[in-house]
Amino acid sequence: MPKTYSRYVCQQCGRVAAAPMGKCPQCGSFNSMVEEVVREESPVKSPNAARGLTGRTSPRPIGEFGGSDEDRLHVPMSEFARVLGGGIVPGSIVLVGGDPGIGKSTLMLQMALDMAKSQRVLYVSGEESERQIKMRADRLMEKDEKFSPDLFLVTETNLSAILDHVREIKPTLLVVDSIQTVYLPELDSSAGSVSQVRECSSQLRELAKSSGVSVFVIGHVTKEGVIAGPRVLEHIVDTVLYLEGDRFQAYRLLRSVKNRFGATAEVGVFEMRERGLVEVPNPSEAFLAERMINAPGSAIAVTMEGTRPLLVEMQGLTSPTQFGNARRTPNGVDYNRLLMIAAVLMRRVGLKLSEQDIFVNVVGGVKIDEPAADLAIAAAIASSMKDISIRADAALIGEIGLAGELRLPGQMPVRLREAQKLGFKVAIVPKRLRKAEPWPTNIEIIEARSVYEALQAAFHIEKKEIPGRKVAGV
Ligand code: TYD
Ligand code: MG
């Protein structure tokens, strides 16, 4: 073992100190000193250590290297495979982040159970005992299903011991639950600190790259995302997945925010049931299942989650303000976006929202940050304000500009096809200036230049006019 010692390095200016300091003496920034481990390498290095990961440093033509898509390990859970970009890449390290209690351990254990049918899997937990994991696994399995002999469990938090287990068992897949609980004994700081989290994940990455084991690390996100949040690791790992959703609702979205081996922003949809996470292959259908037809304050948006179109119901509610200050309360959409949409509705459409509290909710507990949902949000609010329902057979797509104009989002044909597939007869969309790509013809398309025009088309009344309008049209 090479000798190691700690030093403290300012993350802002690089100043090195022997002891931790609250304020950097060089640049004056606070709490920027982070512990780093220095290993005193013995002068006689092994030939491979001097030559990088593979021990082969001479350049070769690109075609001579292995590493094609066929090398990926097949993942039976197709929503999971989709997010990874088609399967697990051998030797890759994947971070699965998310709030506590959202279902990360459940997802990883299900994946481990599935993968153990064809691979050797080691599941290391620092949070639960083997018995607890076994009990959970019992729940996740079918009644008469047998456990695979290739799934190994161990409760361990010392990373050196974990690496020994890997050497002994030689798995193709390693799950570490969670990175905040493992520690290197050489470091002074406690498990979960930035330096521990970073050092441990660096060692796991080295393990993955040198031995070809695919490593999944679970990481908790704190509310502020500051202390040892998985943010520190994002650049160390190959792929970052986030499991998100409302803890009180069933749907969970697994989103890839970084992927060296596939498209980012790809999303897998799951539902948390009694017996674990169940894949939702048709999320749009699921999200619209409980919709109340012809209720005021409801509009359907078509957003893109990665390469997949998703239809969601936007609900809006306005109610007179009680205490002077009108409140805007979004659930699932961005607060500032809602302020902007409300302002446009006031100034460009003439709705008197200044003395109204506004609530917006995305049904299903998903978060929508795509501007293409603006029009549906605006329509839901206007519909509630005027107490007139939106046409039940219409989907609304469009980004709203400050002048009240509508802008065309990308990938319109895919969105329109999905709306049509789910039985929508009409799509209210921004006016096309260039007709570059052909749009589907089996859905009626109403093109609107402005929010006002779109609302006129969307409202479910004979005389298609918004009552109470005072501002001149855009
Ligand atoms: P868990 O995977 O322990 O969360 P994390 O590892 O992200 O902290 O999931 C915890 C929640 O999932 C818990 O509130 C109960 C719920 N759950 C189910 O609803 N059904 C199940 O079959 C399982 C295993 C968990
Ligand atoms: Mg857990």
425-451 pLDDT per residue, tens: 999 999 987 777 788 888 999 999 999
Dist CA 237 CA 95 (whole Å): 7
The atom of ligand 1 lying closest to the CA of 136 is 24
- Quick one: pLDDT at residue 95? 92
- Quick one: pLDDT at residue 264? 76
CA atoms within 13 A on the CB side of 414: 11
Q: Contact, 101 vs 224, CB < 8 A?
A: no
- The residues that bridge with 218 in the sheet, in sequence order, are 96
- Residues contacting 278, CB < 8 A, separation 6+: 270, 271
Instruction: Please tell me whether residue 388 adopts helix, strand or coil conformation.
Output: coil
Is the beta carbon of 102 within 6 A of some atom in ligand 1? yes
User: How many other C-beta atoms are found inside a 10 Å radius of the C-beta of residue 405?
Assistant: 20
Q: Which of 284, 302, 332 is nearest to 416 (CA)?
A: 302
Ligand closest to Cα of 244 equals 1
- Quick one: pLDDT at residue 50? 46
Q: Contact, 436 vs 391, CB < 8 A?
A: no
Task: Using the mean position of ligand 2's atoms as its centre, give its distance from the Cα of residue 229 in Å.
Answer: 15
The atom of ligand 1 lying closest to the CA of 276 is 22
- The helix (H) or strand (E) run that includes residue 413 is helix 412-421
The atom of ligand 1 lying closest to the CA of 247 is 14
Task: Using the mean position of ligand 1's atoms as its centre, give its distance from the Cα of residue 118 in Å.
Answer: 25
Is the beta carbon of 460 within 6 A of some atom in ligand 1? no
Task: Using the mean position of ligand 1's atoms as its centre, give its distance from the Cα of residue 181 in Å.
Answer: 18
Residue type, 348: R
Question: pLDDT means per 10 residues in the chain (474 residues)?
Answer: 77 82 87 77 50 62 74 90 91 90 93 93 94 93 85 95 94 93 86 82 92 92 53 82 84 89 84 91 85 89 89 95 91 95 95 95 89 96 94 94 95 92 93 82 92 91 52 42
How high is the mean pLDDT of the chain? 86
pLDDT digits 0-9 by tens, 301-358: 999 988 889 999 999 999 999 888 899 999 999 999 999 999 999 999 999 999 999 9
- Quick one: pLDDT at residue 67? 67
Beta strands 328-331 and 356-362, pairing class = parallel
SS3 content of the chain, % helix, strand, coil (to 5): 25, 30, 45
Pocket perturbation via mutation, ligand 1, pick of 96, 106, 123, 176 by most ligand atoms within 8 A of CB: 106
Ligand closest to Cα of 273 equals 1
Residue type, 19: A
- Quick one: pLDDT at residue 51? 46
User: How many other C-beta atoms are found inside a 10 Å radius of the C-beta of residue 189?
Assistant: 19
Residue type, 163: L
Dist CA 226 CA 8 (whole Å): 18
Would you state the torsion angle of the CA atoms of residues 186, 181, 10, 204, taken in this order, to the nearest 10 degrees? 70
**Phi/psi zone of residue 276: left (φ > 0), alpha (ψ -120 to 50 degrees), beta?**
left
The atom of ligand 1 lying closest to the CA of 274 is 20
Is the beta carbon of 247 within 6 A of some atom in ligand 1? no
Task: Using the mean position of ligand 2's atoms as its centre, give its distance from the Cα of residue 99 in Å.
Answer: 10
Is the beta carbon of 180 within 6 A of some atom in ligand 1? no
Is the beta carbon of 274 within 6 A of some atom in ligand 1? yes
Going from the C-alpha of 32 to that of each of 26, 28, 183, 188, 193, the distances in angstroms are 11, 9, 21, 17, 13
- Quick one: pLDDT at residue 376? 97
- Quick one: pLDDT at residue 49? 47
Q: Contact, 92 vs 208, CB < 8 A?
A: yes
Dist CA 84 CA 414 (whole Å): 22
Q: What DSSP line would sit under 280-311, residue for residue? A: -S-HHHHHHTTPPTT-TTEEEEEEEETTEEEE
Q: Whose CA is nearest to atom 21 of ligand 1?
A: 276
The atom of ligand 1 lying closest to the CA of 127 is 6
Is the beta carbon of 139 within 6 A of some atom in ligand 1? yes
Task: Using the mean position of ligand 1's atoms as its centre, give its distance from the Cα of residue 326 in Å.
Answer: 38
Tokens of 110: 């299900």
- Quick one: pLDDT at residue 286? 84
Q: Which of 204, 219, 159, 155 is nearest to 185 (CA)?
A: 159
